[in-house]
Amino acid sequence: MNSAIPENSTAAAQEIHTGKTFERYKELVVLVNKYNTQYHEGNASDISDYEFDMLNKELRELEAEHPEWVNPETPTQKVGGKVKREVGMTVTHRVPMLSIQDVFTQEEVVEWVRKVKSVHPDALFSVEHKVDGLSMTLRYENGKLMLAETRGDGFVGEDVTLNSTVIPDILQEIDVQDYLELRGEVYMSRADFEKYNEEQEELGKKLAANPRNLAAGSLRQLDPEVTKRRRLKMFVFNVQDGPDEFMNNHTKGLARLASLGVHVVHHKLCATEEEVIEEIDKIGNSRGDYEYDIDGAVVKVEQTTYRAEFTAGSKYSAGHIAYKYPPEEKETELIDVELAVGRTGKITVTGILKPIRLCGTTVQRVTLHNQDFINEKQVGIGGTYLIYKSGEIIPALKEMVKPPQTVYKIPDVCPVCSQPTVREEGMVAIKCVNPLCPATLVRSISFFTSRDAMDIKALGETYIQTLVDNGYLHSYADIYHLKDYRDELIEKGLIGKEKNTDKILQAIEKSKENDPAKLLTGLGINNVGKSTAKAIMRHYSSIFALAEAMVEDLTGIPDVGEITAKSIVDFFSDPTDKAVIDDLIKSGVNIKVRTEASNTSNALGGKTFCITGTFSSMGRKEIEALIEKNGGKVSSSVSKKTSFVVAGEEAGSKLDKANELGVAVLTEEEFLALVQKPEA
């Protein structure tokens, strides 16, 4: 992503460039480009829509003051996102699919209406729902749907015709024999979104961030059956091209479409600025009652021939503005506090609220984070608090309105096992450190068996829960004693019939041969993940040797800080944990590092790599293994500390980030050459 500023500015402007204002402008360019990419690629955004709108507004204001700073690659000059080849071929739009200029105050709306009226006193306005979804255009020829296309960058989009056939709202035939091109918004209802997330949660899979992102990802699925199961819907909000009866007057065109069975967006024809504002308020006050999310109200000039006179730049449709509503906030009472214990022993604190409606859903729970947050916000039962939805999805507590009698204090004992809890130095989380706590046991064992740890295939959390409930597992070391109960397990059918039971027991036996780094990962020591475990075991001959290490020894290892080092020392000093390790060793689990000279090198020592895209000669896992085998470290994200980004075909936002930060980018061939000849 090129965010460079043109060098042909005036001398005076160049002098201004060195000031703080220009530094802020460059920062805004990077931020808006980043969040714009997240939005259009259907990824969960790091900030709320409102926060993004405010950044965009600030950027536009600076560009209005300093037009000499603007260049074609700044985000205000680009429409939409990059086209991704996930579904079909790319297609050039016959009519550009431009954005709508946003305004954030009703005074700006009135000013715009008056501007239009000053030129055309007879101008009328359509006020419509700005549905929060994915924009799509439909092309009809001789009454048949010939093409459905996503917006893409506004000029080139994706052909999603096949997937459009499984969306019930999209007519495959329409009683219009001339060419007709319609633009609308594909969306997912809140009910269908919540149903999808409930199903994902039951399957233990990742939840979708919001209906808009899920709708975008669903429309671009390779398999139309997946799109069909997501139950997408669509409203048409504009006629891009067609006969005069559809084109001359906007709302009359929508009414004609509705008479033909087309699902058209909610709209209201208004004659005065007062009527426009009244309808905007009406939509805003009712937005929680709709089955879909809206993020604003669109105001359009009714007479389409007038629109070209009211442009807002090459990025925006002429004759339109979109009023963006501020985040919805409501006051409610905290009626209870609920505690839970996670796999690592961390105690999560959830506030139970007197139910309120926010952005169309009932909100009864809000995360209270930790004791510092509780103290800062004066959170306590009986208090009244202002609640909003972060990113329009996640309920969050903004501030205290009416104080409680007492600020809540997280208990000093675990709510499950009643053992004392601890708050580690420099940390905000409060934890139960009892390794046999029932709340952590199933999750700890599940983590031990996971792919990044001991990789015991087929022994999933459901089976582990059953084995814990039936008294077979009290720690992850007990996994290696299950073979002693083979016949009993088969008879009871706890982990399947004979074939499945033997399959799991064989996977358990095979895991004994794993590299000690996988065992160290599986132990679940605080701050010791897969990469850190691999780095540590390059410096020790065995788990025994690591168990004897002191904090100062461990902090000499790159990327191992004092907190991590102390966690490791504390783990191997704990009598309960030592007993579990002894049990694992007696069961034959490998604790020694294989030291064949040919096995590893330090060709990439001290270097951090991020991998993105697809590669012709190997998979990403193979590249990752090659990096680690040669002493390098793999990171899932790009930062200033990244040494290289290895980029293949269809590299995405990580490549953009590397270019922004000036991180060196390697092709597949360049990476392989670096492994073979690191001094190059």
Catalytic residues, by residue number, are: 130
Element (H, E) at 234: strand 233-241
**Measuring CA to CA, how many Å separate 604 from each of 19, 620, 622, 644, 676?**
40, 17, 15, 11, 10
What is the C-alpha separation between 53 and 433, in angstroms, rounded? 43
Helices and strands, counts by H and E, the chain: 25, 22
What is the distance of C-alpha 341 from the center of its chain?
Answer: 24
Compute the C-alpha angle 662/663/666, nearest 5°. 125
Q: How far apart are CA 282 and CA 277, in angstroms?
A: 9
Spatial separation of the C-alpha atoms in residues 385 and 401, rounded to whole Å: 5
Residues 6+ apart with CB under 8 A from 579: none
**Cα 224-225-229 angle, rounded to 5 deg:** 115
Q: What are phi and psi of 519, to 5 degrees?
A: -65, -45
Three-state DSSP class for 191? helix
Tokens of 363: 């909100």
Three-state secondary-structure class, residue 424: coil
Tokens 């550009």: give the residue: 96
Cβ-based neighbour number of residue 545 at 10 Å: 15
DSSP assignment, residue 183? Answer: E
**Number of CB atoms found within 10 A of residue 400's CB:** 18
Cα gap 656→341, rounded to integer Å: 39
d(C-alpha 670, C-alpha 623), whole Å:
13
Q: What are phi and psi of 257, to 5 degrees?
A: -60, -45
The pairing of strands 608-612 and 644-647 is parallel
Task: Give the burial string for 419-453 (b: 16+ CB within 10 Å, else e).
Answer: eebeeeeeeebbbbbbbebebbbbbbbbbbbbeeb
| 109 secondary structure, DSSP code | H
Q: What is the Cα–Cα distance from 633 to 11, expressed in whole angstroms?
A: 45
Q: Which residues contact 30 (CB under 8 A, 6 or more apart)?
A: 3, 660
> Could you tell me the two tokens for 502?
């033997």
- Residue 381 DSSP label: T
CA atoms of 553 and 539, how far apart (whole Å): 10
CB 35 within 8 A of CB 47: yes
Question: Which of the 8 DSSP states describes residue 639?
Answer: -
Q: Which residues of 273-310 are buried (b: 16+ CB within 10 A; e: fewer)?
A: bebbbebbeebbeebbeeebbbbbbbbbbbbbebbeeb
DSSP string, 550-562: -HHHHTTSTT--H
Q: Which positions ≥6 away from 179 have C-beta within 8 Å?
A: 139, 140, 141, 241, 242
